[in-house]
Structures are given as structure tokens and as C-alpha cells.
Structure 1
Amino acid sequence: MTLRPHGPVRVTVADECELVTEGLAAMFAGHDELTLVPPAPGGGLATFVDLTLHDTFGHVPLDQERLDRLVNRPSGGRLVVYTWNLRQGLVDTALGHGVAGCLSKSLPAEDLVEALVRIAQGETVVRGIESGPSSEVERAALTPREAEVVGLIASGLSNHDIACSTGLSINSVKSYIRGAYRKIHVTTRSQAVLWALENACVHQPSTVPSTVPSTGPSTVVAEAEDLLADIDPVRRRRPVFSA
């Protein structure tokens, strides 16, 4: 990568929903040193940028092949892992694959902008790493597919939507849901959404066919958010990404 000596740092995102993109645009507002480049038409990755932000959530274990593809993508600039669950093991693996930085989505705007500028200038920056030994997803021993399905439920998708997004059959989706419910000790969809919200287990589907209507967050998501607020009304909620 050729570092850009003049002009704002061009930043794009990989596999993120419109809500996250708009949130980043708001965080970058007033910071002339950065500019957000929207994804290419059709949801493709933007090119000729300085930095690409990638959320690794939903890939347990880490999808190292995809990481390598993004790191080596022509004109994609330097790759930055930008996620809620920033653990030491993930950071070590990501940096070992050539990632230029690992940043938590909990960072305030000023810290995020400062870190991104430093990364664009050639530094390797890690900010907001979790102190816990492992994530609740790992402690629950969810398989990668179970974690993905629970995350998609928390995103407001129906079983049919999940099947379309993942390419699984309805029966397979139901089987993964039953297995995940046993491991996280829940019995209802609202309880599963609550567990996902509490443990940052919310996943944006990589693809949803155009035949699937976009209905937004489901009622169970809203119910779970209300329940979470009742449990701890001062807790800062993490965003729910809807399809």
C-alpha cells in the first residue's frame, strides 16, 4: 500500500449494514482528516481506499481465509478489524495475518478517528481490547453455525430469512437453534435475543436474497431490548443490526 501523504484518509467498510455505515459517517462528521467511502453498487467492496474496516463477529473460530483475502485485496488499503468482541486471541491471530489494527466498536469518535489516522500513517494500533479471558460465545461452546444463527435471530430475522441468508434448509436452521438454545440455557426466542444482546452476539447477514422482504427488527427483538432495559436501565445498549 502507498500511504496517502495529502488529503483525507479514505475509509470503507466490509460486510456492514446501513446502520453501521451511517453511524460511522456521523462519528467522522467534523473530522476533515477522514472521509467515509460507501460500498460499491450491489454491496461490493469499495476500492482505492486507504483503510477497510472488517467486523469479525459471527466467525468463531476466526475466518482466517477471508481475513487473508481482505488483507491482500487490491486497492483495499490496510485492513482494520473493527468489532465489539475484541479479545487478545483474536488480536494475535489477526495481526499475524497482516491486519494493520484492531479497534473496538466501543471506542468514542475522537479515539476512533485518532487510531484510524495513525493506522493510515503506517502504525499498527490496538485499542479497546477486552480484559476477560474469553467471550460468552466461546464459554457456551457454540459452534460457528450456532453462533451465526443466534446472531441472526437477534438481528430480527425469521427462520425463513435465516435459511435464505445462510443457504441452510429450514429443518437445519431449527436444528441449530435447538442446539444453541440448550447451550445458552434458554427456551424462547425472546430469551435468545436477550442473551445475544447482553453478549454482543448480533450478526448482520452477509447476503439476503432480494425475494426476502426486509421487515426490520422483529417484535421479539423489541421485547428483549425492553427486558434488557428493565434489568439495567442505565446500561448503554449496543445497536441491533436489522436486515
Structure 2
Amino acid sequence: MPEPPPAPLRLVLVDDHEMVLHGLGAMLGHFPGEVEIVGQATTAAAALARVADTRPDVVLCDVRIGKESGLDLCRDITTGYPGVKVVLLTVYDDEHYLYQALRVGACGYILKRIDGQELIGHLRRVREGETVVDHALAGRVALSAARLSAGQFWSGAHLGLTQRESEVLELLVSGHSNKAVAGRLVVSEDTVKTHIRGLYRKLGVSDRSGAIAVALREGLFH
């Protein structure tokens, strides 16, 4: 006898826009045997509550949830609920966000222009243990990896840092103040602060000591 089909993949949807949740629900509703939406949320706190209540197979969430970070939510879910997989579904066509998503445990990074059949295909692959990346980003990621292997990237590029952010971080690790960094790079202190905020966000830290700790742990500067 043929094996019965697998049970529908149990899914929690997270987005700060009700219209997006409604659209996703309608799109996935065409595949009742493939997925079952067991919860929806518009905030990170509500998402964690839905995960705790339903223990879904996959959480589908955006990189940004209003003023909250979907990347932080991903980290909280993968840390607190190891059996639950997280896929980022977003408009951010940016490999830097992709790198950060993978660092916090995401199993996929997909752009919102995807259609229902493609999304179902990606979710099937995630269920089977694969990590999926939107084809629009996959080529750029492969090129980045090739450049990194060839030594053509700066320290921290694989973490999403720009070259200037890497330069700022190196000076922070060396003990320079914001004023000293500005003097070394011949930019204003406000510009330095902007770069520091950017590298904090990309490294997932909130202060200078956290950024330095990441840099040391990753062996970025020797």
C-alpha cells in the first residue's frame, strides 16, 4: 500500500500588517492539504505566545514587525523552541539581512513577491531539513562567498558589515573613542555614531562592549 501523505505543515504567520496576514492566509488557503495556519500575530510578544500555545512546525515572519525586530524574534524562537523552524518572508532584498537571519537560526529567507506554489515548495524543503534562500538573492550570496574565499572582502563582510562599519569596529576594538574614530576616518562624530548604530544592529548587540565581544569571538581583527 502507498504511504499516506504527510500531515499538513502547521504554520504561524507573523506580520505587523493585518492586510498581509489576510493575503497570506488567502494564498495558503488554496493548499489545505499542504499547510494549516494554526496562529497569527502582529507583534513579537503575541508571536511567542502563539508559538508556546501551538508549537507549530514553522513560523513565517518579516524582518521588521513594526518597530520590533523579526531577527530578534527568530533568535528567541529558535533558542526557546528548538523544534520550531523560522522562515523570514520580507521585502528586504538585502543579503546583509540574509546573513543576519542565518546567524540567528532562520531556516529560510524569502521575498514577499513569491507566489503561493513557490512558497509551498520552499516550506516543503524546510520541513525536510533544508535551508532555503530566495533565488533573487542566491546568486549574490554565491558571489559574496567566492569573493570572501578569495580574500576580496573586508573583515566582518560575512556578518553584513559595510567596509566603513568594519573600519569603525576595528577602531573601537583598539580602544578609540567616537571622537578619535572620527579623526582617524576624517568624518564627523555624528557619522561615526550612525555607523556604530548600524554595526550594532547587524551584530545583534546594544553597546560597544557587545560589539567588541562579537569582533573578538569571530576573530575579525588580528
- After TM superposition, the score normalised by the length of structure 1 is 0.45
From the two aligned structures, give the one with the greater helix fraction: 2
- After TM superposition, the score normalised by the length of structure 2 is 0.49
* Structure index of larger Rg: 2
* More contact order relative to length (CA 8 Å, sep ≥ 6): 1
From the two aligned structures, give the one with the greater strand fraction: 2
